[in-house]
Amino acid sequence: MQQEQFISVRNACKLCSPLGACFAMRGIEGCIPLIHGSQGCSTYIRRYGISHFREPIDIASSNFVEQTAIFGGRDNLFRAIDNVTRQYRPSAIGIASTCLSETIGENVPMYLREYLSRRDLGEAGVADCQPILFYASTPSYRGTHIDGFHEAIRSVIQTTTKNKSQESAVKREHVNVISAFVSAEDLRELHAILGSYQLPYTLLPDYSESLDGGAWEEYQKLPEGGTSLDAIREMTDAMGTVYLGKAVTPEQNGALFLWENFRVPAKNIELPIGVENTDVFFAALEETTGKPMPKIWEKHRYRLIDAYFDGHKYCSGKRAILYGEEDFVAAMGSFLDEIGVIPVIAATGATGINFENRIRSLFRNTRERTKIMTETDFAAILETSAALKPDFIIGNSKGYYLARQLAVPMVRCGFPIHDRIGGHRILHLGYRGTLNLFERICNVLMETNQNHAKSGWTYI
């Protein structure tokens, strides 16, 4: 399909690359993200994270100023690492680059080699605390927050396993799951699913506690939770890796790294949203572990299918505007197609290489009725939507003004959710997550009919 060419971007349908890297880093136990760039970049990321997760989120910065932009930020980076180490006592520091540091040509890997060499000689760092350092190249002019998310995952795997060899890896009953950017509640659901197999596992990243913990009596600089560095090292010994999400390049793919270096078999699948995609997820776990799906999930599957029967009349034939990151749109669109909703637009701000073919292969009933938009913004989505007469829109808070302009209801899910409480606790994945989404959609449509009726209905 020929894509429209827009001269400018107005309210992009994506977020910046270092943002995704920072949230992946917060899913590692004892890890502090450090932005190599200006304070504004770290403030932007904190602002988005706090408004979505409703938790305090510390993001360090090497604090670029005018002089740094001209002469380079090596000394700033060294001071930042020392200061973060001294104040937080972290087990790891994840460094993410920015547009500014990449544009002036900062060679961060070289800087880190020099810093570690000086630290080994006792000339830098904090003597009694030596966190591992890993780096993700994340300029926002190259990719989206999802690219940064995957870059950080690959980097921490590569860094923590660099001293291991294929010969030293001992395969055992252990399974890896690498997740795309999902909610904290989704990660807890993945824990429940993996735990039911009664096998050791590594889930990476895991911000289910570090970005959604309980109330504190005293401020915690490093909240509890996250995937431990030891668990990441043990990923080399696993029976296999299941990677949730396909919007990842070979260079970003941590599962591919484990296969190429340690011969850990890898499977990349769609996010398990919808009956069919969740069936594929459980089939991948069965093939990896050699164990069938536990009975408890069969019951949830039957309950979900029963709900489809109950609510089919409310959503069948309805028209939806769907937007967000590629993996979210692909899986959510497949689910909408499954329940009889027509995604008249499937939009993403990513470049979407092969995105159209991916969507066409997933949408069985509505593929010819869906307009696919890549590298797009919300202004373009609105312009295209007006003639399509959608019944509702589905996506994150950045698209709320679409609902206002089109005068249709909105089903909030994905990231970020700024204008409601509990966006990080929306369950999307698995049979239970699909049931939650299905009921949310049905109830929004029922409420709209009820509100627009001339007389109030108690039975709909």
- Span 83-137, pLDDT tens digits: 999 999 999 999 999 998 998 999 999 999 999 999 988 888 888 899 999 999 9
d(CA 418, CA 47): 10
| Strands of 266-269's sheet in order across | 201-204, 175-179, 240-244, 266-269
Residue-wise pLDDT tens digits, 283-292: 999 999 999 9
Cβ atoms of 105 and 137 closer than 8 Å: no
Residue-wise pLDDT tens digits, 303-325: 999 999 999 999 999 999 999 99
Residue recorded with tokens 């092969």: 354
Cβ atoms of 247 and 350 closer than 8 Å: yes
pLDDT at 2: 43
pLDDT at 459: 76
pLDDT at 1: 42
Q: Does the structure show a pLDDT above 80 at 20?
A: yes
411-419 contacts, C-beta under 8 A, 24 or more apart = 411/437, 411/440, 411/441, 411/444, 413/332, 413/437, 413/440, 414/324, 414/325, 414/328, 414/332, 415/15, 415/52, 415/181, 415/183, 415/325, 416/15, 416/48, 416/51, 416/52, 417/52, 418/48, 418/51, 418/52
pLDDT at 97: 95
CB atoms closer than 10 angstroms to residue 128: 7
- CATH class of residue range 310-452: alpha beta
Residue-wise pLDDT tens digits, 218-234: 888 899 999 999 999 99
Residue 169's pLDDT band, with cuts at 50, 70 and 90, is: low
Which has the minimum average pLDDT: 139-153, 234-248, 363-377, 403-417? Answer: 363-377
Q: Does the structure show a pLDDT above 90 at 68?
A: no
Q: Does the structure show a pLDDT above 70 at 4?
A: no
d(CA 176, CA 159): 17
What whole-number percentage of the chain has pLDDT above 90? 79
Q: Which fold has domain 17-160?
A: Rossmann fold (3.40.50)
pLDDT (average), residues 404-412: 95
Name the token pair of 103.
């544009």
pLDDT at 7: 58
Residue 349's pLDDT band, with cuts at 50, 70 and 90, is: very high
Residue 71's pLDDT band, with cuts at 50, 70 and 90, is: confident
Cβ atoms of 269 and 255 closer than 8 Å: no
Q: Does the structure show a pLDDT above 50 at 402?
A: yes
Residue-wise pLDDT tens digits, 416-433: 999 999 999 999 999 999
CA atoms within 13 A on the CB side of 201: 25
pLDDT (average), residues 237-243: 96
Residue recorded with tokens 């895991």: 206
The answer for residues whose C-beta is within 8 angstroms of residue 364's C-beta and 6 or more apart is 337
More confident residue, 102 or 2: 102
- Give the DSSP H or E segment for 97: strand 92-97
d(CA 166, CA 170): 9
CB atoms closer than 10 angstroms to residue 77: 23
Domain spans of the chain? 17-160, 166-295, 310-452
Residue 348's pLDDT band, with cuts at 50, 70 and 90, is: very high
The answer for residues whose C-beta is within 8 angstroms of residue 394's C-beta and 6 or more apart is 320, 321, 322, 323, 332, 336, 410, 411, 413, 441
Fill in the amino acid letter for 294: P
d(CA 203, CA 269): 15
What whole-number percentage of the chain has pLDDT above 70? 97
- The two domains 17-160 and 310-452 share their CATH topology (first three levels equal): yes
The distance between the two most distant Cα atoms of the chain, rounded to a whole number of Å, is: 80
- Choosing among 3.40.50.2300, 3.40.50.1980, 3.40.50.720, 3.40.630.30, the CATH entry for 166-295 is 3.40.50.1980
